[in-house]
């Protein structure tokens, strides 16, 4: 589903920039649940929302919604930042790791394990 792909890309960008859902929501004057719904693909993102988010992260829309797979170094850097975050539960970390591994192509994921 396209919404899930955009949501994963948004989450990766947010984690890479070290921004929590709460901080992003506060900065954009939206609810945290809206950010969460985008990231999980439960809510469609409007074109205006995408423009605002790309401006917020100071990246082009192409970079925000990366069409290329992450290389192993980028993947590890993002994973390390995320898993060191104390406010995230172990169950959420496990679910996210599974999604991140699914996001990577299978051969790259196997190299990391």
**Are 103 and 13 a contacting pair, CB within 8 Å?**
no
Question: What topology does CATH give the domain 2-64?
Answer: 434 Repressor (Amino-terminal Domain) (1.10.260)
Average pLDDT, integer, range 88-111: 64
C-alpha atoms less than 13 angstroms from C-alpha of 52 in its C-beta half-sphere: 12
Average pLDDT, the chain: 77
Q: Tokens in use for 50? A: 């995408």
Candidate from 23-32, 67-76, 83-92 with smallest mean pLDDT: 67-76
State pTM to two decimals: 0.57
Query: pLDDT-based confidence at 21, cuts 50/70/90?
Result: very high
Classify residue 66 as exposed, middle or buried by CB count within 10 Å of its CB (0-12, 13-18, 19+). middle
**Are 58 and 26 a contacting pair, CB within 8 Å?**
no
Whose CA is closest to 18, among 101, 78, 66?
78
Looking at the predicted structure, is the pLDDT value of residue 7 above 60? yes
């Amino acid at each position: 589903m396209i919404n899930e792909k955009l949501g994963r890309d948004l989450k990766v960008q947010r984690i890479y920039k070290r921004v929590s859902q709460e901080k992003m929501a506060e900065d954009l004057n939206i609810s945290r649940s809206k950010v969460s719904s985008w990231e999980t693909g439960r809510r469609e993102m409007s074109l205006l929302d995408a423009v605002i988010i790309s401006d917020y992260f100071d990246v082009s829309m192409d970079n925000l919604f990366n069409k290329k797979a992450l290389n192993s170094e980028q993947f590890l850097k993002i994973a390390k930042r995320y898993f060191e975050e104390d406010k995230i539960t172990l169950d959420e970390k496990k679910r996210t790791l599974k999604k991140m591994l699914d996001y990577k192509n299978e051969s790259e994921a196997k190299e990391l394990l």
